[in-house]
Chain A
């Protein structure tokens, strides 16, 4: 039972480069989320989706984009990487009662 999977696990980007963080869930959940985690700051919601074709901004959406073409996949796009985007990124999906988290992607922008 895979749950929520994320790729890659680690990535180093140069300033101005772009990349897509992949997220897939196999639990048929409607709700999916992208968070970033910075030391001492907890998790901040970047974007979320309540179903295929429906996305909305969270608390810290600037510099990111998302799409949701299928129930299973919810990729996060960074268009012009900046050092402020150095963080650990978590994808999650939820039933009504619990969010299930992926293992995270550690991104460094230099």
Chain B
């Protein structure tokens, strides 16, 4: 199974950018990189995904290393509502499975 490695926890000050790293050294050429976040007592929520190129959407940006062995989720201005566990996930080429790691718990300091 493809695996991801993330720091257990990170802190950020409110309204500052946050860079959440993820290592996925065993990624295969057709695995997509997905990011989800999970707020307390809720199911995971989609944030962003990509394959090779950097991606931007209204929530965040995803920077993917050239060798695809790592990626970084960028929240441009952290808010208190961004406090959550962020999961970096590999989706296999069949699209049939998501491999969650233990995630990074983000604390946003007012």
Chain A partners chain B: no
